[in-house]
Chain A
Amino acid sequence: MTSKRYDAIVVGAGHNGLVCAAYLAKAGRKVLVLERRHQVGGATTSEEIYPGFIFSCCSYVVSLMRPWIIRDLELPRHGYEILPLEATVTPFPDGRYLMRDSDPERTRRSIAAFSPRDAEVYKRFGQEMGELGRLIKPLIDEPAPDPLSRDPRELLRLAKLGKHLRGQGDEWLFSNVKIMTMSAVDFLSEWFECEQLIAPMAVSGIIGTFLGIRSPGTAYVLLHHYMGEIDGSFRAWGLPKGGTGAIANAIASSAKALGVEIRTDAPVAQLLREDGDVTGVVLENGDEIQAKAVISGLDPHRTFLKLAGEENLDPELVQQIKRFKMRGSSGKVNLALDALPELACLPGYGPHMQGGITIAPSIDYLERAYDDAKYGAFSRKPFMDVLIPSMTDPTVAPPGKHTMSIFVQYAPYHLKEGAADWPNQREAFGDAVIDTLSEYMPNLKSLILHRQVLTPWDLEQVYGLTEGNIFHGELSLEQLAFQRPLSGWSRYQTPVRNLWMCASGTHPGGGIMGVPGALCAQTMLGKRAV
C-alpha cells in the first residue's frame, strides 16, 4: 500500500508507454509506469537468449521513430543510436540475385539484369511514393482527423487538410484512390514488369497483416514503408545499436531523467474504481496505487476486455472491440551463429551481408505461403526477412560470431488444430524456416549454436500481444485513423472515465514509432485530463 498519489499511471512499459510517460513528466506531471515483466520495452526488447549473444527478440528494425520525438526526449544522449541497413538482397532459386542499396546506379544495374525498363522506372517510382508519403505524413504526426466532429476547431483542421490534399491536383487524387484500394501486386504491376522486382517489393504490403500480396488494400501498407524512407536520408530507417531493447532503455532513461518512476515485476491485477470512474490500479500483490488517470500501453483487446473489464462495458462496444482484428500472422526465428554464413548467390563478406536478405523469390511463392496460412497452417515455404545485426553492430555477439534475426510470415495464430497447438508445432515451424533458408545459405545449419523460435502463441504468452499481432491489431485500412481502434474512440480516450490508451492499437499504429504515446500525452494535456 502506498499513499503516494500520481497524476498518471501507465500500464505497460512498451516503447509507447514510456514515450507517453516521458511527455507527461516533461509537462510537470507525476507519472508511474508499471511493467509486468522483469524489464522495460515490451516487444521492443533485447535479450541475451544464449550466452554472449544479444537479440532483438521481437521487433528488429526501426523505420518510423519520429525525429521530433527523438529530439524532444533527447534520446541520443540516453543511448539511442540507429545504424544503417546497407542493402536489400533477394536471392533466387536459379542462383541469380537482385540487390537494392543506397547507390542508385548500382541498384539500377542490378535491376537492369532482369528488366532494363524497370531499372529506369524504379527511381521514378521511389520519387512518386516518397511524394505521396510526404503529403500524407501530417496524418501520422497528429491525432486522427474526426470526420464526424462538429467542433469548429476540428472542422478547421479537416478543411485545412482537405485544402492541402486538393491542392495537389487530380493526378494525386487518382493515385491515392488506387493506393487505398488496390493489392500490392496490382499496384506494383502498374509500374513494373519483372516479377523478381515486384515480389520482394510487394512484401512490404503484407507485413503484420493476415492478407496476401494479391489481397486488396495491401498497396496502402507499402506507403508506410516509403514514409520511413522520407526521413531515410536522415536515418530514421535502420538497426538500433544493442538491439531494439536499447531504444526502450533510452526512452526509459530519458523518462527517468524527467522524473518518471518505473517499476518492473509489477503486474497490474485490476483498475481501482469509484462510481465507475478509474481512480488508480491494484497490483497483483495487493498494493493499491491512486492516480488521476490510468493509461493503457496494452493492445485494444487487453485494454477493453481485461483491464477495463468486459463486464463494465456497453455490450455493443464489447462486440465492436472483439471484431477489431488481431490475428497475428508472423513469427520470429533468432539464431546464434558460429561464423558468418555464405549466401550461395553472392558468397563472401560484403555490404550485402549488412542489410536485409529477403526471401521472396516470386509472386506465386508468396501467394502459396498465404494459401497455407488461410487454411490454418504455417507456410511450408515462408516469406522471410533476414538480418545479421552483428555485421553492423559487433557488440551483440562474441568476436567473429553472429546473430541472425529471421522475421517469418505466415505463422497464423489460429492453427486449424487451435492456437494452443503451437507449442507442439513450434519446432516443426522452426525447421521449415531453417530448411527453406538453407536453400539459399547452404552452410547455415552447420553454424547454428542456438535457435529461438517465437510463434504468435509465444508472442502472446510472453509479451502479451493478443493473438501474437505485432502491431496491436492489423494495419488494414478499416482499422486505421479515426477507426483505430474504434470509431468514436480514436483519440486515446476510452469510454471509461480516466482510462486512456497510448499504444500501437491507436492512431497512427504499430512499429517503433512513438507517435501514439506522444499524441496520447499531448491530447491528455490539452484536455487537462491530467
Chain B
Amino acid sequence: MPIPTPFHERTQALCSSYRWKDWAGYCAVSSFDSTHEREYFAFRESAGLLDVTPLFKYEVTGPDAAALLARMMVRDVSKLKVGRVAYSCWCDDDGKVIDDGTVSRLGESHFRVTAADPTFHWLQALSRGFDVEIEDSSTRLAALALQGPTARAILQDAVGSSQTGSQIDALKFFGVTRTEIKGIPVWISRTGYTGDLGYEVWSERGEALAVWDALMAAGGPHGIEPVGLDALDVARIEAGFILLGVDYYSSHKVVLEARKSTPHELGFGWMVDLERGNFIGRDAIAAEIKRGSTWQLVGLEVSWRELEALYESFNLPPSLPVTASRSGLPIYSGSEEGRQVGQATSHTWSPILKKYLAIASVRRGFEAKGAKLQIEHTVEYERRKVTATVAPLPFYDPERKRKP
C-alpha cells in the first residue's frame, strides 16, 4: 500500500477530486480537480507546483565520486562543473538502458543522482574499488517541481535577493544552487519534466511543509496552482520526454531481449562519448553504432482531418481519451501492404498545439522526418488506421525554457 509523502498534509487538503495514484510506493495526486486541464494550463501559462518526492535520489560523495559516475553513465559526467546538472541514461554491459535521470554536481566530490527505479544496488555494485560513499537520500529529501512561465518570478520572491543580485536570475538552464527559502536551506535546480521554464526544489523532509507554504504564498500573485501527474503526463509528451516503464523498459526488469533498448534507439545517442575512457556498455554501444540500431524513437502527429473523417463515417464527433494514454498502439508502414513497423507508447491531445501527438518506436528506415506512417485507432470497437507523420521531438519547445 502506498504511503504519504512529506507534502501529503497539504496535497490531501487540496485534492478535492480524491484522484490519487501509486507512484513508486507513494500516494501521488493524479489531478486535484476532476479534470487536469486547469493544472495543465498552469504549467504552460502561470506555474504549477508538483510533489516529485517519489523520485529516487542518491548522494554519491568522496574523492572517486566523479570517476564512479563517469563509469556508470553513458555521458561523461566527470566534466560537469560544480553547480551544473546533466541528464543521462545508464546501461548494462550489453549497452542496454537500465534507467535515466539527472546527475547534479553539488560540490567537488558531492553528486546527486535521481532515478525512476531503485538504483542503490547498482551504485553499490559498481562502487567496488572506488573511494566513495553512497547514501540513499530518497526518503530524507522532499522534492517539489515548480514549472511554468511565472516560476522564476515566484522563486525570486520566495528566495529574495542579496547585494550580489538574485540567485535565481543567475541560475542557468541545468544549473543548481544552494540557497534559502524563509530561512530553510534548499537546493534549487533549473530542471524539470515539462519542457518549460521550471525549477525543482529539494529540502529536508522535516521542512517540506514550510517550503510548500512559502512557495504557495509567494506564488499567489503569480497564478500558482498545485498540479497532479495527469497534467504532467500531457506536458512531458509535448516536451518529448520518455518515461521508464511506459516508453521503454529497464534492461534489469524485462524478460525478452527484444524489449530492451539502447541509448541510440531512445534518442539518447547525443549523450554518448566513445572517445573518453571506458564506461559500462561502451563496447556494445560502439558495435551498435557500426551495425546500426534496430529501433528509433520518433514523434508522430496524427492527421486530424483523417481522424475527423473516420468518426464522421460512424456519424460521431471525434473523441480522444481525456487524459494522456499509455496504451500501446501498433504503427504500420504507410505503403500498400501496411505491415507493422513499430508501436506508439504514449499519446495525447496537445491542448496548446491543437494536435494529437504520439511518442513511438519504429524500425530503422521509417524514422525520417515527414515520413507518413499509420497509427491504429479504434472507433466503436472497430480497429482502423489513420495517417501519422513523423515529427521532430520535442513537439513543444518554448524559448523561455533555456532563456538566461
* Cβ contact of B38, chosen from A67, A233, A354, cutoff 8 A: A354
* Cβ contact of A102, chosen from B37, B149, B222, B304, cutoff 8 A: B37
Contacts of B41 in A (CB 8 A): 83-84, 392
Contacts of A395 in B (CB 8 A): 45, 149-150
Chain A interface, number of residues (Cβ within 8 angstroms): 31
Assuming the A-B contacts A102-B35, A106-B34, A399-B153, are A81 and B352 also in contact, with contact meaning beta carbons closer than 8 angstroms in the complex? yes
**Beyond A76-B352, A84-B41, A103-B34: 15 further Cβ-contacts under 8 Å?**
A67-B354, A68-B304, A71-B354, A71-B355, A81-B44, A82-B351, A233-B319, A234-B349, A234-B351, A234-B354, A392-B223, A393-B46, A394-B223, A395-B150, A401-B221
Q: Are A67 and B304 in contact (CB under 8 A)?
A: yes
Mask: chain B, 296-309; 1 = CB below 8 Å from A; 0 = not: 00000000110000
Determine whether B129 belongs to the interface, using a CB cutoff of 8 Å to chain A. Answer: no
Determine whether A57 belongs to the interface, using a CB cutoff of 8 Å to chain B. Answer: no
Q: Are A235 and B351 in contact (CB under 8 A)?
A: yes
- Of all chain A residues, which has the CB nearest B355? A71
Determine whether A241 belongs to the interface, using a CB cutoff of 8 Å to chain B. Answer: yes
Q: Are A70 and B354 in contact (CB under 8 A)?
A: yes
- Of all chain A residues, which has the CB nearest B46? A394
Mask: chain A, 221-255; 1 = CB below 8 Å from B; 0 = not: 00000000010011100000100000000000000
Determine whether A400 belongs to the interface, using a CB cutoff of 8 Å to chain B. Answer: yes
Mask: chain B, 150-191; 1 = CB below 8 Å from A; 0 = not: 100100000000000000000000000000000000000000
Determine whether A32 belongs to the interface, using a CB cutoff of 8 Å to chain B. Answer: no
Determine whether A426 belongs to the interface, using a CB cutoff of 8 Å to chain B. Answer: no
Determine whether A86 belongs to the interface, using a CB cutoff of 8 Å to chain B. Answer: yes
* Cβ contact of A235, chosen from B45, B223, B318, B354, cutoff 8 A: B354
Q: Are B153 and A76 in contact (CB under 8 A)?
A: no
Q: Are A134 and B317 in contact (CB under 8 A)?
A: yes
Shortest Cβ distance from residue A36 to the other chain B in the assembled complex, whole angstroms: 31
For residues 89 through 132 of chain A, which have their beta carbon under 8 Å from a beta carbon of chain B? 102-103, 105-106, 130
Determine whether A391 belongs to the interface, using a CB cutoff of 8 Å to chain B. Answer: yes
Alpha-carbon separation in the docked complex, A83 to B223 (Å):
13
Determine whether A309 belongs to the interface, using a CB cutoff of 8 Å to chain B. Answer: no
- Of all chain B residues, which has the CB nearest A241? B45
Q: Are A86 and B317 in contact (CB under 8 A)?
A: no
For residues 398 through 413 of chain A, which have their beta carbon under 8 Å from a beta carbon of chain B? 399-401
Mask: chain A, 66-79; 1 = CB below 8 Å from B; 0 = not: 01101100001000
Contacts of B317 in A (CB 8 A): 130, 134, 230
Determine whether A347 belongs to the interface, using a CB cutoff of 8 Å to chain B. Answer: no
Alpha-carbon separation in the docked complex, A82 to B33 (Å):
20
Contacts of B45 in A (CB 8 A): 81, 83, 241, 392-395
Shortest Cβ distance from residue B115 to the other chain A in the assembled complex, whole angstroms: 34
Determine whether B353 belongs to the interface, using a CB cutoff of 8 Å to chain A. Answer: yes
Contacts of A103 in B (CB 8 A): 33-35
Shortest Cβ distance from residue A232 to the other chain B in the assembled complex, whole angstroms: 10
| Interface majority SS (helix, strand, loop, mixed), chain A | helix
* Cβ contact of B222, chosen from A71, A81, A84, A394, cutoff 8 A: A394
Mask: chain B, 31-53; 1 = CB below 8 Å from A; 0 = not: 00111011001001110000000
Contacts of B222 in A (CB 8 A): 394, 399
Mask: chain B, 321-357; 1 = CB below 8 Å from A; 0 = not: 0100000000000000000000000000101111100
Alpha-carbon separation in the docked complex, A241 to B319 (Å):
25
Alpha-carbon separation in the docked complex, A105 to B320 (Å):
20
Q: Are B354 and A84 in contact (CB under 8 A)?
A: no
Determine whether A423 belongs to the interface, using a CB cutoff of 8 Å to chain B. Answer: no
- Of all chain B residues, which has the CB nearest A103? B34
22 contacts between A and B (CB under 8 A): A70-B354, A71-B354, A76-B353, A76-B354, A76-B355, A83-B41, A83-B45, A84-B38, A84-B41, A102-B34, A102-B35, A106-B34, A233-B319, A233-B320, A235-B351, A391-B223, A394-B46, A394-B222, A394-B223, A395-B149, A395-B150, A400-B221
Determine whether A52 belongs to the interface, using a CB cutoff of 8 Å to chain B. Answer: no
Alpha-carbon separation in the docked complex, A361 to B88 (Å):
59
Determine whether B220 belongs to the interface, using a CB cutoff of 8 Å to chain A. Answer: yes
Determine whether A442 belongs to the interface, using a CB cutoff of 8 Å to chain B. Answer: no
- Of all chain B residues, which has the CB nearest A168? B315
Shortest Cβ distance from residue A70 to the other chain B in the assembled complex, whole angstroms: 5
Q: Are B305 and A400 in contact (CB under 8 A)?
A: no
Shortest Cβ distance from residue B39 to the other chain A in the assembled complex, whole angstroms: 11
Q: Are B352 and A68 in contact (CB under 8 A)?
A: no
Alpha-carbon separation in the docked complex, A130 to B316 (Å):
11
- Of all chain B residues, which has the CB nearest A104? B34
Alpha-carbon separation in the docked complex, A70 to B305 (Å):
12
Q: Are A394 and B35 in contact (CB under 8 A)?
A: no
Contacts of B349 in A (CB 8 A): 234
Contacts of A102 in B (CB 8 A): 34-35, 37
Contacts of A351 in B (CB 8 A): 33, 38
Alpha-carbon separation in the docked complex, A237 to B8 (Å):
35
Alpha-carbon separation in the docked complex, A234 to B304 (Å):
11
For B153, B220, B317, the residue with the greatest tally of chain A CB atoms inside 10 Å of its CB is: B317
Contacts of B44 in A (CB 8 A): 81
Contacts of B34 in A (CB 8 A): 102-103, 105-106
Shortest Cβ distance from residue A414 to the other chain B in the assembled complex, whole angstroms: 41
Alpha-carbon separation in the docked complex, A393 to B41 (Å):
9
Shortest Cβ distance from residue B43 to the other chain A in the assembled complex, whole angstroms: 12
Alpha-carbon separation in the docked complex, A33 to B35 (Å):
42
Alpha-carbon separation in the docked complex, A235 to B35 (Å):
14
For B317, B318, B354, the residue with the greatest tally of chain A CB atoms inside 10 Å of its CB is: B354
Shortest Cβ distance from residue B319 to the other chain A in the assembled complex, whole angstroms: 7
Alpha-carbon separation in the docked complex, A105 to B16 (Å):
13
Shortest Cβ distance from residue A374 to the other chain B in the assembled complex, whole angstroms: 39
